[in-house]
């Protein structure tokens, strides 16, 4: 359910009626890793992220990172999905004419869903999110390559991290 809410918010935020100067959106592949100290899984995810550029150094945004291909627990037939929704603030600066580096701080809700023989069980929890990344201009000044690493959850011996790689645009 939360996954649908995050996607709906992102869609509404970037509809043509509300687009204005200083908005950005990017999306692509999310390489999520869930490690509970015993097992490690890495489902294939896609992400969409967008937000508002307050000034050249600060922006705020929302991200949805959704599993498209689950991973299985080792030696079992249990499929696991790891979905993450994040609200964040970024601080960064251009380091050249084509590269901008930033750090992120926010709040993430991570949902772990296990499925076996048509039965699904989910649990979710929230934690502080820390991340860093880069936007590399693709020549137009408004499109960029987005690379981001985030620690979405790190509590009780469980770590959820993600490497996101995609393409974005500023409006």
Number of domains into which the chain is organized: 1
Q: What is the pTM of this model?
A: 0.83
pLDDT of 41 higher than 80: yes
DSSP one-letter string for 91-131: EEEESSSSEEEEEEEEEEEEEEEEEETTEEEEEEEEEEEEE
Average pLDDT taken over every residue of the chain = 89
Distances (CA, A) of 88 to 78, 107, 113, 144: 32, 6, 24, 20
Structural domain span for residue 11: 2-170
- pLDDT, greater one: 155 or 75: 155
The confidence band for 10, taking pLDDT boundaries of 50, 70 and 90, is low
pLDDT of residue 75: 84
Angle at 1 between CA 51 and CA 6, to 5 degrees: 5
pLDDT of residue 72: 93
Per-residue pLDDT of 117-161, as tens digits, reads 999 999 999 999 999 999 999 988 899 999 999 999 999 899 999
pLDDT of residue 20: 53
Which CATH number fits the domain that encloses residue 131? Answer: 2.40.160.20
Per-residue pLDDT of 12-31, as tens digits, reads 454 444 445 799 999 999 99
Percentage, residues of the chain above pLDDT 90 = 79
């Amino acid at each position: 359910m939360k996954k649908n809410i995050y996607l709906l918010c992102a869609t509404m935020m970037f509809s043509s009626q509300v687009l204005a100067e200083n908005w950005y959106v990017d999306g692509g592949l999310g390489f999520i890793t869930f490690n509970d100290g015993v097992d490690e899984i890495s489902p294939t995810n896609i992400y969409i992220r967008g937000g508002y550029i307050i000034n050249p150094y600060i922006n705020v945004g929302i991200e949805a990172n959704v599993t498209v291909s689950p991973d299985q627990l080792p030696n079992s037939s249990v499929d696991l999905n790891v979905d993450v929704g994040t609200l964040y603030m970024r601080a960064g600066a251009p380091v050249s004419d084509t590269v901008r580096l930033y750090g992120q701080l926010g709040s993430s809700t991570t949902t772990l869903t296990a499925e076996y023989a048509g039965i699904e069980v989910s649990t979710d929890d929230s934690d502080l999110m820390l991340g860093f990344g880069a936007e590399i201009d693709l020549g137009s000044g408004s499109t960029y390559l987005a690379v981001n690493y985030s620690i979405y959850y790190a509590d009780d011996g469980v770590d959820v991290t993600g490497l996101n790689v995609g393409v974005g645009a500023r409006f």
